[in-house]
Homo-oligomer: A and B are copies of this chain.
Amino acid sequence: MKALVYKGPGEKSWEEVPDPKIEQPTDVVVKMAATTICGTDLHILKGDVPEVEPGRILGHEGIGVITEIGSGVSQLAVGDRVIISCVSSCGRCSYCRKGIYSHCLDPEGMAGIGWIFGYMIDGAQAEYVRVPFAENSVYKVPDGMTDAEGILLSDILPTGFEIGVQYGHVNPGDVVAVVGSGPVGLAAVMTSRLYGPSKVIAIDLDDARLKRARDFGATDTVNSGDADWRDQVLGLTDGLGVDVAIEAVGLPGTFTMTTEIVRPGGNVANIGVHGKPVELKLNELWIKNIDISMGLVNTNTVGMLLKLVAEHKLPAEKFVTHEFGFDQMLEAYEVFGNAAEHDALKVLIH
């Protein structure tokens, strides 16, 4: 089959590799109908994630059809159309039993936890992929759902919802601010509306992205390049700050922004993947009765989000701005890697 292979820092190739096959009784093999690219893939390609070895097939998002099942698989069948979850989980360890699938203890000695596709094992930017612990790690696609809708359930929508909205404890009537209007920030904007907020404020440096944020459900926008951006945000509240501030960038500066706009008693929810430590002003914050959460998606809301997408209550398909064939994989990377220039959000490769 063909696959996108990491060849070491800065190097990738769309090349012929051996087909995956069943290795464990709980595996399935999926023929991919569509996959996509995530910011994390770009990080790996830059060499920022040294534990990824050259030769690894990248990608952790996708939708496809099961072509083979392991001997221990009874609830899935060849021919099932499924969404691949970015997090794999055994379903029986102490973390899985608490629903913290992101920290599955991985009892079979498989390297890595939770997120393994395109990281510790071969991933989804390929014509076929092997899925371990399949019954806990794929979701059957409801009839009528398109690939463009379904692929958002692999990672982006549950990440924005679980790590942004749920960890941030958004409640009806809240004012929510989301710093960063990239895919995961927009997923937080869109899904925060499930909890009846009073306002959802999108904050970004790019007016084009802010304009798009309104289309995803933001009620207000603030350009953080403005000198008075913080006053603008506070002016959209009762003056005390927002109830929930969600970080969806992954830089020290954007994290600090969230702590500067959250009200006493409020919540900061970090979704961003950070490469550096940040300075936390505990000298000012210790007295504010705030809560700072962070984490990798558990994907335990995928089933629920899938239902709402199928019922057209969440317009997931809006995320897909560009489409490519599998043999245009390198072009897709080119567009996604220069997202601003191409006004790209998510690229669908099918």
Chain A residues with CB under 8 Å of chain B are 24-26, 71-72, 74-75, 90-100, 102-103, 107-108, 135-136, 167, 172-173, 193-196, 198, 250, 252, 255, 264-265, 270, 272-283, 285-296, 298, 300-301, 303-305, 307-308, 311, 313
- Known A99-B99, A172-B194, A255-B282; further 18 A-B contacts with Cβ < 8 A: A72-B72, A75-B108, A98-B99, A103-B265, A172-B195, A173-B304, A173-B305, A270-B282, A273-B286, A276-B282, A277-B279, A278-B279, A287-B296, A288-B294, A289-B298, A290-B294, A291-B292, A291-B294
User: Once bound together, how far apart are the Cα atoms of A184 and B283, in whole Å?
Assistant: 18
Query: Are B289 and A285 in touch, CB under 8 angstroms?
Result: no
Known: A107-B75, A264-B95. A196 touches B198 (CB 8 A): no
Query: Are A283 and B277 in touch, CB under 8 angstroms?
Result: yes
A196: chain B residues at CB < 8 Å are 193-196, 308, 313
**What are 19 A-B interface contacts by the 8 Å CB criterion?**
A71-B72, A95-B265, A97-B99, A98-B265, A99-B99, A100-B264, A103-B265, A167-B291, A172-B194, A173-B194, A193-B196, A252-B282, A270-B286, A276-B282, A277-B280, A277-B281, A286-B294, A291-B292, A292-B292
| Residue among A74, A196, A305 having the largest count of chain B Cβ atoms under 10 Å | A196
A255: chain B residues at CB < 8 Å are 282
Q: Which residue of B lies closest to A165 (CB)?
A: B172
Query: Are B74 and A71 in touch, CB under 8 angstroms?
Result: no
User: Once bound together, how far apart are the Cα atoms of A108 and B73, in whole Å?
Assistant: 10
Q: Which residue of B lies closest to A163 (CB)?
A: B289
Closest chain-B Cβ to A180's Cβ sits at a distance in Å of 14
A172: chain B residues at CB < 8 Å are 194-195, 304, 308
User: Once bound together, how far apart are the Cα atoms of A135 and B135, in whole Å?
Assistant: 14
A313: chain B residues at CB < 8 Å are 196, 198
Query: Are B95 and A75 in touch, CB under 8 angstroms?
Result: no
A98: chain B residues at CB < 8 Å are 99, 265
| Residue among A136, A172, A295, A298 having the largest count of chain B Cβ atoms under 10 Å | A172
Known: A91-B92, A92-B135, A196-B193. A279 touches B279 (CB 8 A): yes
| Residue among A72, A108, A272, A273 having the largest count of chain B Cβ atoms under 10 Å | A72
Closest chain-B Cβ to A71's Cβ sits at a distance in Å of 6
User: Once bound together, how far apart are the Cα atoms of A135 and B306, in whole Å?
Assistant: 28
Q: Which residue of B lies closest to A95 (CB)?
A: B265
Query: Are A303 and B94 in touch, CB under 8 angstroms?
Result: yes
Q: Which residue of B lies closest to A93 (CB)?
A: B75
| Residue among A93, A95, A277, A282 having the largest count of chain B Cβ atoms under 10 Å | A282
Query: Are B91 and A91 in touch, CB under 8 angstroms?
Result: yes
User: Once bound together, how far apart are the Cα atoms of A107 and B270, in whole Å?
Assistant: 33
A286: chain B residues at CB < 8 Å are 250, 270, 272-274, 294-295
| In the complex, the 3 A-B pairs of residues with the closest C-beta atoms, listed nearest first | A72-B72, A194-B196, A289-B295
Closest chain-B Cβ to A99's Cβ sits at a distance in Å of 7
User: Once bound together, how far apart are the Cα atoms of A110 and B214, in whole Å?
Assistant: 41
User: Once bound together, how far apart are the Cα atoms of A272 and B282, in whole Å?
Assistant: 9
A102: chain B residues at CB < 8 Å are 264, 287, 289
Contact of A280 among B279, B293, B303 (CB under 8 A): B279
